[in-house]
């Protein structure tokens, strides 16, 4: 629950793996607390869960952007 890791890798025809880039985006403290709070049922948890899902998707997008920038891919 510390953040999102990403790896950009290529697998050739022989099945060999080559890592081209790796990236990490840390969760903000407030987001960590929000995720932990979802472990318990409570007021408005469906709404809070949806908001957490959106924030997580943004973190995934940030990792992808970092990987593309490192490899200069579009």
d(CA 74, CA 72): 7
Contact indicator for 30, 55 with CB cutoff of 8 Å: no
DSSP 1-24: --EEEEEEEEE-TT--EEEEEEEE
d(CA 24, CA 66): 8
| 20-66 pLDDT per residue, tens | 999 999 999 999 999 999 998 888 999 999 999 999 999 999 999 99
Predicted local confidence at residue 69, as pLDDT: 96
**Residue 11 banded pLDDT, cuts 50, 70, 90:** very high
């Amino acid at each position: 629950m510390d953040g999102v890791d990403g790896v950009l890798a290529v697998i050739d025809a022989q099945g060999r793996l080559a890592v081209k880039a790796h990236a990490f985006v840390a969760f903000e403290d407030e987001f960590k607390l929000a995720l932990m709070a979802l472990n318990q049922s409570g007021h408005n948890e469906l709404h809070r869960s949806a908001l957490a899902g959106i924030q997580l998707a943004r973190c995934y997008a940030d990792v992808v952007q970092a990987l593309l920038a490192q490899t200069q891919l579009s």
